[in-house]
Structures are given as C-alpha cells and as structure tokens.
Amino acid sequence: MYAEDLAPENCLVIKLLRSPHAHAMIRSIDTSKAKLVPGVECVLTYKDVPQHRFTQAGQTYLEASPYDRYILDRHLRFVGDEVAIVAADTEKAANKALKLIKVEYDILPAILDYRESLDNEILIHPEEDWTESDWSHGDNKRNSVYHEDIHVGDVDAIFAECDEVLEESYHTIEDQQAMMEPFTANCWMDTFGRLVIQSATQIPFHVRRNMATALGIPKSKIRVIKPRIGGGFGAKQTAVVERFPAVVTWLTGKPSKIYYTREETMIAGSARHEMRVQVKLGAMKDGTIRAIEMHVLSNTGAYGEHGPTTIGLAGHKSIPLYGGKYEAFRFVADTVYSNHPSAGAYRGYGAPQGIFALENTVNLMAARLGIDPTKIREMNMLHEGDLMTAYNNETANACALDQCMARCKEMMDWDNKFPAKVLPNGHIRSVGVAMAMQGSCINYIDEANVTIKMNDDGFYSLLVGSTDMGTGSDTILAQMAADVLECDVDDIVAYGVDTDVSPYDSGSYASSTTYLTGNAVVKAAEQLRLNITEQAAKILECQKDEVEFDGKVLTCVRTGASMTLKDLANQLQGGSDGWLSVTAGGNSPVSPPPYMVGMAEIDLDPETGKVVPIKYTTCVDCGTVVNPNLARVQTEGGLMQGLGMALYEGQSYTDEGVNRMRNFLQYKIPTRMDIPEIEVDFRESYEPTGPFGAKSIGEIVINTPSPAIAHAIFNATGVMHHELPITAEKVWRGIQQKKQEEVQA
Amino acid sequence: MEIKVKLNGKWIVDNIDPDMLLLDFCRAHYCKSVKRGCETSNCGLCTVWLDGKPVLSCNVLAARADGHEVTTLEGLQEEAKEFGMFLAREGGEQCGFCNPGFIMNVLAMKRELDNPTDEEILEYLAGNLCRCSGYASHMRAIHKWLDSKKEAAQREDHIPENREKMLAHRLSKRTQKHW
C-alpha cells in the first residue's frame, strides 16, 4: 500500500495553478469566481498562506540549502511555479475552479541560459529575507548559491611540465528520475490537533522540519508517516508536494491529498542539475597522469535546494579515481540560479556529471598518447591504501578497483574487441570503458539510529528511521539483524518510518542506508544479544559470560541448564526489571567509496547514427555483498538509467522557458526492448568500518554508462561527444562533420 | 449513469459520471493495485483485464465495462502470488509500484502465448515500464516461472547459437519502440 492508497476517504483533492511565465510578478489575482464553484473548499494565494522562508531540500544539520521559498510567492521563477492552491471535494470541481482564477502578471526578463546567470543584472532572488546556509558561500545578489575553490599542489606548474595537456568542456542536461510513482502526499489532523503528513518521501524527518518552518509552527505539532514508496532515486529527497496538503489541512482542519500528474512530476519536480564541466588533464608520454583541473558550473534552477551540495561530487567523486599518481589537482565550483525548474537530487548526485567529463578526457588522452585506455587507467588508478586528497583526505581502506578492471576486461573480452570492427553490413561494433566511484553516507553529518525490541515468543521488531524507497533496504537491514541474532529473517519485523515512533535517521540518500543504518543495526542487535544473555543468566542462575545463545536456545555452559528464547521472552513480560529494547546508532567519520568499472559494446549504424548497446559488462566493488540478488538488481537498474541518460533522456526548453518534455511520450525512458546483454560481477574488498565489511551500491551504478557509451561511439566514429544525451542525430552529424574536416584537410 | 460491472467475479452496480475512467472506477471499488503512473497510456501500471484481455484502464471509460467482466490483481491472488515469488527471488520486485500492471500482463501472456520466445516475451511486455529493475531480473523470473510451469519445454533462445540470430532480428526492426 502506497501513500495514495492510504489517503483518508473523501478527503479534499488539491490542484495547483501554475505560472505560464518563466519569470514574473503577480500584479493582481482574483479568486472570487473560483470560490463559487460548488465543492470548492478553499482557493489559496500568496496572500492567504503563512510567509516564512524555508527550503524543501532534505538535508540534515548543518543544512546546506538556502531558505529561498515561500509556500506560495508573489514572485514566480519558472514556467510551472505555483500561483494558487485549490482544494475541493472532487478533482473535477478543483479543475473547474482553477480555470476561474484571474491573474495579471508583470512579466520580468528571465535567465534561461544558466551560463549567463552569475552577476547578471536580473536577480532571481532579490529578496531581503533570503537566508544563506552556513557554509555554501552563496550570494543571492549575484545569483550564486555556492562557490568552492580548492586545490592540492600547483596545477599550473605541473601542467607546464607535462608532455600533453588536454582541455575539454562538457555539458550534461537535466534528466528525470522518472520513478513510477509520481510525487504524492496526504494530510489529516489527529485527535490531539496535530498535523499528520503521509508522504512518499525519502526524508520523513526533514519533511517534519521543513513543513514546521514553512507553516511557522512547532515541530512537535507535526507527524510524518512514510508508507511504501514507489521509487525515489533522489526525487523524493526534496519535499516537492508536501507543503500543499499541509497548508490546506492546517488552515481548514480537513483531510486533503495531492497526487501529481506525470506532467507535473516532469515540469515541477526535482531533476538532475544541468552542468558545464571543464576539465584540464596533464599527462606524460608514458601515460602518467600528473595533474587534473576541473571547473564546474551547475544550474540549480529557480530554487537553491540541492544546488550547494550536488556540485562538489562532480570533482570529489571523480578526481580521486586517479589518486594513485597525480601530483596536483584544482577544483572550482559554482552553482547559480536560473529560471528553469528547481533541480534536485538524482542517483549519483553530481558524480555522473563529473565522471562523464573526466572519463571522456582520460579516454581522449589515451587516444592521443596511443595507449590502451584500460592500460592508462591501470597505470594511474587508485589502489588500496592510497590517500585520496580530493576526497576529504580519506585513505582508501578497501579498494578492489584494479581487480574490477581485470575482471571487466575478461567479461567483455576487451583485448579482442578494442577498439572497433566493421561488420559486413557496414555497422560498426565498438567498445568503451569507464571507471566510477561514489561515497557511503556523508561523513560526520549523516546520522542513523535504529531500535530493536524483543517481543513475546522471541520475535523482534526493527524500527528504522531510514526509508526503503523500493530498493529492498528494509530486507537488507532485517537480514543484518537476523545475522547477529542468529534468527530467521522472518522473525524480524521491520517497520517503516513514522517520525513519532522511529529513532532519528537523516534519511535515505547519499548511499547511506546499507553502510550507516546497517552499522546502527549491527550495533543495536549486538547490544540486544548481550542483554538477552544477561537476562537469561539471571534465570539460569549463572554468570552472563557463561551463557551461550544460538538464536533459539540459551544454555549455561557450566551447569548445562537451558531455556528457549521463547520462554525467556514470555517470562520477561511479567515481573521483569525492564523490557528488552535497544536503540543505537551514530554517524561515521569516513565515507568509504565503492568503485566500479563498466564497459559498453555498441552497434553503430554510420548511415543513421543509430546506436544500440549490445552488451554491458560491469564489475563492482561495494565491499562485502550483503544480498547478491538485490545488489545485482541495483546494478542492472542503475545501468539502464545510465544508458537512458547517455543515449536519449534529457529535458529541453523553448525560448520562453517552457519545458518540452512533459510526459512519457516525449521523455523516453528505456523499455525492456532496449536492454542489452548485461553481465554483472563483484570483486569484494573488506571495508573495516562497514557492517560485515559492506559499502554502498545504490548510486555508483548510474555513473559509468554515459562515458563508456561516449567512448564506444568515439572508437566507432573518431568523434568524442561532449554533450548528453548522445542521440542518433548528434552521432550522425558528428560523422558528417568529421568527413567534411577530412576532405578539407 | 448506471453501470453494471463484474469486478473480480462480483457484479457491482454503480452510478458514475460518464467520463469516469476504468482506472478510477477500479480504485473507487478498493482495487488499489491499479496504479496511475502517467496520463498518456505509456507506463502500463494501470493494466487490468477486460473480458480476460489486458487493457490500459487509464484509456478505457468505465462505461465501456458496462455488462463486462473486469479483473484486477485482487482477483488473481493465487496466480499473482506464485509469479510474485519468482520475481521476489530474483530481487526484481523492487519498489513494487509497476508490479501489479506488469504481473497482469505476464499472466495474460501466459494464457495467450505457448512457449513464447524471448523476443515474444519482450514485445508482449514492452508497454510495462519499470525504472528500478533494469528489466533483466524480470526476464530471469519469467524464465524460471515458465520453466517451472513446463519443465520439459526447451525454449529456442536458450540455445547459445540462436542468440546472435535473435540479436540480428532485434537490430533490424527497432531502436526504441516505446509505446
């Protein structure tokens, strides 16, 4: 059962009036006629709702996002920005009322090209009550949300000594998470006059904070329940829709719900940040990579949200891949506002953009130097024990990247297939390679806690604050608890998040669940295990270290006396000195990266530019693989999203800033007809800080397809594409342009 | 208007708006397995059976079901559970939101096609989108489920030399067939 299935019967249905302009002020708004439609409960405009700046981003303390939103604002910042909220008994009545709202707009000049945003005289957020986050160095008077400039060593000096220096600029555009369940939430008031928000969200605790801030009410007045989620991929790390039912129910006292259409999900959701990534790479003739410089400009759209935090990953989760050798790096990052829809979190969170750029450049460098691109990686890649200067100065405790490369080459039969061969029908078969990394949680910041309690008959309840967004993480966590408590996984009941009940967790994002929440589960389960033996020792009249526990029976090794867990659990229900329940958790000082290598084999038709992925092989090092089936499916799912991103997914806008990709007719995601043969394998390293040696897997898997496909196309045509998606049209144009250049030469 | 529909084996009489969609009709009668993922007949989430044939209920007026039989996942619990176990064993159920529509179509395929080849399976199910799984686990589950149904059957495409033939066939007829 998902959020919409559990919405209160007969609750108000919410529909929204959206701005037709990319940048405008509301001059006047008249809702009197709309309110007359039978069944309409309320029509809310910026005049009717609390005005407190807040953010919808789901991030834990220290919050990185600027407070730059109102529930409704007079100032509209993208085509689709919300102008008014209608709540009515039926969807029909609400839609009818929408048409009767009269709005006059003062149209403002818009910034539709984010490259022109910084220090533009047009300001997207001129407001005086714009609040910057503690550490993002943004400035709303410059349209800036974030700035960073870090370096280790003197890149310019090293570049001067290099035999070859490549400078390339790449462009990745907004793409959609396209989770099958659109954004949805519903609300009601409970018996104590508190606001209950039931939401398909990855971040229940942040929804509570964000909505309390937006409504200007104490957090204690809000309860957030997360039922089953129909996919998130980061989209639901932003509270995209919660504010609408929250304000309607808070003001009317009546239950209400909102269920975005696919169109609304596409045009007013939280797509991936568009980025321009400029890479400068310096290497010696023998292939040694000595310096990497990266300048990134990111488009956060109308609101700051994940703008300050996504961009860093472009550098911090790509440059360290070559941490084995380079002597200097520099990373400069700027995130700016524009009049596009607000961007958000999407699997990979900035890393795919950076990795696309860096991996392409490394592949170009390999071609320039005449070195096999897998060899140049083997020479320069990160190894276990290396210090990652571009990654918080963490040491790679567990890294099997070299083994992943060897295995992946074997699976692809790289040595025989690289670079390309022409088939009798004129098609070209070619291969491409890329490496990737990610993190496992945000170190020092993310926080995970779990509670495990033992119930009568000896089954357990596992209360987690992290949200299973459909990845099977609740299963993984239950499996870990079962392992420690030596019971069947069915003896553990995992309970989804309810902010009134669950211990605090910063949420399911940043690849943190298996690693961070997993660690909390192991900690809590181990403590519970100790407590069980301690209680049994009292009854068996022996010392607690004399008690052996096999998951079912507790035995005193000295006297041989024993009792079942079931008996113990039931006895503890009366006259005991405390029920058995443990809460444990914490954060992590490190964020151990998983690593992977991906290789694509494509069939390219030079007559049409059509690219069909034939085979994709990948080898992942996510530490210990906790559940092989789920890890494999995570990988396969991420690869397919990555292939979509590489070949056909992406938003596009008219000159007026109107989003052209409004549904699945226009925005194509891969179907099952598009799957290549996918081979997935794992090379396990052992991460000493992870639960059972595990690291993350959820995000990294989307990172390799874009550069690997781009590389395969390069090997087939000699043209490296610098912009995603690489459509058939672009491939064809690339081939024609190259032909012309060759003729001219 | 008044309609009479046999929903999951039980006749229901209801007074509906003429423009009510079959999707909303099913959900209003507690068949919550029927999901809405788009409004353009692209995603397959709302697949139900109308007189035993799969239809996209977002694209069918409830009035058209007047006097007919509608089956949703709620009406096929046993079969759905059986296939669902195969799917879960492969880790392919993931977020689950696309599963009801997908399973309705898989069960319809089983009734319609004898010993389907991989190509036939993919084509039959092409309209059922899934964003989590990458589809490969779906295929593994379908293979194992069909095998369990008919252990002796050896599908053609299990023979390795036929792979390349199949690939050539696919390359010749499609790039992106998303309907």
Alpha helices in chain B (DSSP H): 22-28, 77-89, 99-112, 118-125, 136-149, 161-173
Please tell me the distance in Å from B93's CA to the nearest CA on chain A: 8
Q: Would you state the pLDDT for residue B57?
A: 98
Query: Which candidate in B27, B38, B103, B170 is best for mutational testing of the A interface (most A CBs within 10 A)?
Result: B38
Q: Would you state the pLDDT for residue B161?
A: 56
Residues B101 and B148 in one domain: yes
Give the domain range for residue A581. 448-484+501-586
How many distinct structural domains can be found in chain B?
2
Which residues in chain A have their CB less than 8 angstroms from residue B177's CB? 671, 673
Query: Which candidate in B74, B97, B102 is best for mutational testing of the A interface (most A CBs within 10 A)?
Result: B97
Query: Where among B52, B74, B96 does a domain terminate?
Result: B74
Residues B42 and B99 in one domain: no
Q: Is B179 domain-assigned?
A: no
Cβ separation B38–A470 shorter than 8 A: no
pLDDT band at B170, cuts 50/70/90?
A: low
Query: Which candidate in B123, B176, B177, B179 is best for mutational testing of the A interface (most A CBs within 10 A)?
Result: B176
Comparing alpha-carbon positions, the chain A residue that sits nearest to B17 is A92
Residues B99 and B117 in one domain: yes
Q: Is A106 domain-assigned?
A: no
Comparing alpha-carbon positions, the chain A residue that sits nearest to B128 is A671
Q: Is B161 domain-assigned?
A: yes
The residues that bridge with A388 in the sheet, in sequence order, are: A394
A194 Cβ contact partners less than 8 Å away, ≥ 6 residues apart: A220, A221, A222, A223
Q: Which of residues 78 through 137 in chain B touch A, CB cutoff 8 A?
A: 89-92, 94-98, 122-123, 125-137
B172 pLDDT above the threshold of 80? no
Cβ separation B131–A177 shorter than 8 A: yes
- Among A469, A639, A672, the residue with its CB nearest the CB of B125 is A672
Cβ separation A231–B35 shorter than 8 A: no
Query: Where among B15, B41, B74 does a domain terminate?
Result: B74
**Over pLDDT 70: what percentage of chain B?**
84
Comparing alpha-carbon positions, the chain B residue that sits nearest to A679 is B136
Give the domain range for residue B141. 76-173
B7 pLDDT above the threshold of 50? yes
3-class secondary structure, A259: strand
Q: Is B40 domain-assigned?
A: yes
Q: Would you state the pLDDT for residue B171?
A: 62
Residues B82 and B28 in one domain: no
Q: Is A545 domain-assigned?
A: yes
pLDDT band at B152, cuts 50/70/90?
A: very low
B173 pLDDT above the threshold of 80? no
Say what angle helices A628-647 and A705-717 make with each other, to 10 degrees. 50
Query: How do strand B53-56 and strand B69-71 relate by DSSP bridges?
Result: unpaired
B177 pLDDT above the threshold of 60? no
pLDDT band at B178, cuts 50/70/90?
A: very low
B164 pLDDT above the threshold of 80? no
Residue ranges, chain A, pLDDT below 70:
134
Q: Where are the beta strands (DSSP E) in A21-112?
A: 24-30, 40-44, 75-76, 82-88, 102-107
**Residue A508 belongs to a domain with what CATH number?**
3.30.365.10
Residues B24 and B96 in one domain: no
B178 touches chain A (CB under 8 A): yes
ipTM: 0.94
pLDDT band at B176, cuts 50/70/90?
A: very low
Q: What is the pLDDT of residues A460-512, one digit of tens each?
A: 999 998 888 878 888 889 999 999 999 999 999 998 899 999 999 988 888 88
First to last CA, chain B: 32
A198 phi and psi angles, rounded to 5 deg: -105, 120
B179 pLDDT above the threshold of 50? no
Which residues in chain A have their CB less than 8 angstroms from residue B32's CB? 1, 5
Q: Would you state the pLDDT for residue A496?
A: 84
Residues B83 and B152 in one domain: yes
CA A467 to chain centre: 13
Q: Would you state the pLDDT for residue B150?
A: 80
Cβ separation B94–A1 shorter than 8 A: no
Q: Is A562 domain-assigned?
A: yes
Which residues in chain B have their CB less than 8 angstroms from residue A670's CB? 135
Cβ separation B39–A668 shorter than 8 A: no
Q: What is the pLDDT of residues A290-347, one digit of tens each?
A: 999 999 999 999 999 999 999 999 999 999 999 878 999 999 999 999 999 999 999 9
Residues B52 and B84 in one domain: no
Q: Would you state the pLDDT for residue B166?
A: 61
DSSP assignments along A184-207, one per residue: EEEEEE-TTSPEEEEE--S-HHHH
Q: Is A516 domain-assigned?
A: yes
How many distinct structural domains can be found in chain A?
1
Which residues in chain A have their CB less than 8 angstroms from residue B96's CB? 228, 230, 470
Sign of the Cα pseudo-torsion (A584, A587, A590, A594, in order): positive
- DSSP state for residue A79 in the 8-state scheme: T
Q: Would you state the pLDDT for residue B156?
A: 52
Count, residues in chain B: 179
d(CA A264, CA A392): 38
Residues B110 and B120 in one domain: yes
Alpha-carbon distances of A267 from A19, A54, A113, A307, A366, rounded to whole Å: 11, 21, 17, 18, 40
Q: Is A372 domain-assigned?
A: no
Q: Is A573 domain-assigned?
A: yes
Q: Would you state the pLDDT for residue B158?
A: 53
**Closest of A224, A210, A214 to residue A251, by C-alpha:** A214
DSSP assignments along A358-409, one per residue: HHHHHHHHHHHHT--HHHHHHHH---TT-EETTTTTEE-SS--HHHHHHHHH
**Does residue A617 contact residue A599 with C-beta atoms inside 8 Å?**
yes
Residues B92 and B50 in one domain: no
Give the tokens for residue A183: 């954004």
Comparing alpha-carbon positions, the chain B residue that sits nearest to A2 is B97
Give the tokens for residue A421: 């061969």
**Does residue A504 contact residue A450 with C-beta atoms inside 8 Å?**
no
Which residues in chain B have their CB less than 8 angstroms from residue A635's CB? 134
Residues B59 and B6 in one domain: yes
The residues that bridge with A442 in the sheet, in sequence order, are: none
B155 pLDDT above the threshold of 80? no
Q: Is A118 domain-assigned?
A: no
- Among B42, B95, B125, the residue with its CB nearest the CB of A663 is B42
Cβ separation B176–A639 shorter than 8 A: no
d(CA A645, CA A634): 16
Q: Is B178 domain-assigned?
A: no
Task: Please report how many Cα atoms fall inside a 13 Å half-sphere around the Cα of residue A615, on the Cβ side.
Answer: 19
Per-residue 3-state assignment (H helix, E strand, C coil) for A648-667:
CCCCCECCCCCECCCCCCCC
**Residue B104 belongs to a domain with what CATH number?**
1.10.150.120
Rounding to the nearest 10 degrees, give the CA dihedral for residues A244, A246, A251, A255. 100
Q: Is B26 domain-assigned?
A: yes
Q: Is A494 domain-assigned?
A: no
B160 pLDDT above the threshold of 80? no
**Residue B18 belongs to a domain with what CATH number?**
3.10.20.30
- Among A180, A472, A669, the residue with its CB nearest the CB of B45 is A180
Comparing alpha-carbon positions, the chain B residue that sits nearest to A468 is B95
